[in-house]
Amino acid sequence: MSFEFGISKTMNRTYVHGYDPRENIRLQDQASTLVELLHSDTKYPPDSKVLEAGCGVGAQTVMLAQNSPGAYITSVDISESSIAEAKRRVEEAGCTNVVFRQGDIFDLPFGDEQFDHIFVCFVIEHLSNPIEALNCLKKFLKNGGTITVIEGDHGSTSFYPDSEEAHKAIRSLVELQKRAGGNANIGRELYPILNTVGFGSIRVSPRMVYVDSSKPHLVEGFIKKTFTAMIEGVRESALDAGMIDQPTFDKGIKDLYRTTEKDGVFGYTFFKAVAEKN
């Protein structure tokens, strides 16, 4: 759910993550804050082969490796530099069950039905062709194997005190991502997308992050360092594109920070889907 501009041969000027050191820190903050909510039920059996597609800087890879110490994890990303960083993190955490490969989801060098499970987190929201991407991944999955897809949905954001300017600033990010070929509201579409790709037994669970001042680690880790930092990150692009004026954007950011005060409240819903190939 975070981004910077980049180019991939398979994407139409799509947001690509993980080059900027500040972005790496933000992804790491995001991961540690949300790990329990999003991943506590992701555990793969010993000896199973797991493909993590679009691992980025490894923000979820360490969790995958630690939650499933007996599984063999192959993590791929299109970005060499992100993989180098992910490798460093995994080594630092002392995990020995992950191998990394640079590669494009649309053109990976794996054999058919090579993996028992596939894990994709915060990736398809950035692709102009998520159905094609999941179709490409599906062929690497054994019959009876599972795919887990986790995505955000910026349209789910709610907060107190409410602010039209904050909603406008958020919508400018949604619009920028749309112009880049992505979909920042893709969480709500996981069921129909997986259904279209032909997966069965699809189970989607909304995971709501609810924050008030009684949860200072989420005020800091989610509202400030994850969500508001992400919206702030598109300030120049949104202003340059003329999709919002500067006073409105800046007031929107101020109002998002206002939700971190004692009486403030913030909500955001992630969607986690698990489906089977059958």
Ligand X SMILES: C[S@@+](CC[C@H](N)C(=O)[O-])C[C@H]1O[C@@H](n2cnc3c(N)ncnc32)[C@H](O)[C@@H]1O
Query: In terms of Cα–Cα distance, which of 11, 43, 22 is closest to 2?
Result: 22
Compose the 122-161 pattern: x for residues touching ligand X by CB under 6 A, - for all others. xx--x-----------------------------------
User: In the complex, what is the shortest distance from the CB of residue 29 to ligand X, in angstroms, rounded to a whole number?
Assistant: 11
The size of the interface with ligand X (CB under 6 A), counted in residues, is 24
For residue 105, state whether it binds ligand X (rule: CB under 6 A): yes
In terms of CB distance, is 101 or 171 closer to ligand X?
101
Q: List the one residue from 79, 157, 260, 269 that touches ligand X (CB under 6 A).
A: 79
For residue 51, state whether it binds ligand X (rule: CB under 6 A): no
In terms of CB distance, is 121 or 256 closer to ligand X?
121
CA atoms of 63 and 90, how far apart (whole Å):
9
Give burial (CB, 10 Å; 0-12/13-18/19+) of 158.
middle
CA atoms of 53 and 77, how far apart (whole Å):
7
**Stretch touching ligand X by CB under 6 A, among 115-123, 192-200, 212-220, 226-234:** 115-123
**Stretch touching ligand X by CB under 6 A, among 6-14, 39-47, 62-70, 87-95:** 6-14
In terms of CB distance, is 35 or 265 closer to ligand X?
35
3 state SS of 99: strand
User: What ranges make up the beta strands (E) of 32-190?
Assistant: 49-53, 72-77, 98-102, 115-121, 141-151, 158-160
Which residue in the shown chain puts its C-beta closest to ligand X? 56
Q: What part of residues 188-207 is at the interface with ligand X (CB under 6 A)? A: none
Q: List the one residue from 8, 135, 158, 237 that touches ligand X (CB under 6 A).
A: 8
CA distances from 173 to 17, 61, 124, 221, 234 (A): 15, 26, 16, 20, 7
In terms of CB distance, is 126 or 277 closer to ligand X?
126
Radius of gyration of the chain measured on its C-alpha atoms: 18
Q: Which residues contact 21 (CB under 8 A, 6 or more apart)?
A: none
Query: Strand pairing partners for 76?
Result: 53, 101
For residue 60, state whether it binds ligand X (rule: CB under 6 A): yes
CA distances from 28 to 23, 130, 185, 221 (A): 9, 24, 22, 10
Query: In terms of Cα–Cα distance, which of 151, 150, 175, 166 is closest to 265?
Result: 166
In terms of CB distance, is 51 or 219 closer to ligand X?
51
Q: List the one residue from 4, 10, 101, 258 that touches ligand X (CB under 6 A).
A: 10
Give burial (CB, 10 Å; 0-12/13-18/19+) of 199.
buried
In terms of CB distance, is 34 or 223 closer to ligand X?
34
In terms of CB distance, is 76 or 194 closer to ligand X?
76
Binding site for ligand X (CB under 6 A): 2, 8, 10-11, 16-18, 27, 54-56, 59-60, 77-79, 82, 104-106, 121-123, 126
